Amino acid sequence: MPESAIDPKVDRAFLDNLITQCRHKPGALLAILESAQDHHPRKYLTKEALEYIGKEIGVSRSQIYNVVTFYSFFNLTPQGEHCITICRGTACHARGSKKILDFVKDMLQLQETNSGYADKLCLTTPDNRFTVRTVACFGQCALAPVVSVDERIYGYMTCQRMREIVEKLDHEAVEPVPLFI
């Protein structure tokens, strides 16, 4: 591919190094995608990065999209500075995770624009401070309802405790995040 055909939003040097390190290891595609996502300041995989990775490792575009849409930890849209992930598994649902989800959405003034399936929810505030996501299960059922905030697990969550966590995060200093890597 000619140099000019590769989107400038793709950090080719980073991806080339990553691909070289992982190419022949089991699970290489997952490792490459996860590292590429973590490298992006907004923690998502751009279309250009996915196409570049696929081209470089010889995996079709459809295979790449099958992987990133199957696993809930991959993001195809920019994520907020703070990520709140609410478990919607059976134990968490029975212990009030839907109420917590609705509370957080109301608190952050988020509106669902999809079909309403809570296990596929991913909403980001207009100021990009918060992303609210749901997962099918964290595997921490004994702690239900479970919420992850910036990859830290909180068990026995309540709306009041959720309010305290969000308010604390909302008062942190905001540093500008570049839009492209």
pLDDT tens digits, one per residue of 122-177 = 999 999 999 999 998 999 999 999 999 998 999 999 999 999 999 999 887 655 44
Provide the token pair at 132. 């609210």
Model confidence over 77-88: pLDDT tens digits?
Answer: 999 999 999 999
pLDDT of residue 26: 81
In Å, how far are 24, 149, 169 from 84, measured between CA atoms? 34, 5, 11
pLDDT of 41 higher than 80:
yes
To the nearest whole percent, how much of the chain has pLDDT over 70? 86
Model confidence over 169-178: pLDDT tens digits?
Answer: 988 765 544 4
Q: How far apart are CA 19 and CA 12, in angstroms?
A: 10
- Please name which of 155, 62, 54 lies closest in space to residue 100, comparing C-alpha atoms: 155
Q: How far apart are CA 181 and CA 12, in angstroms?
A: 10
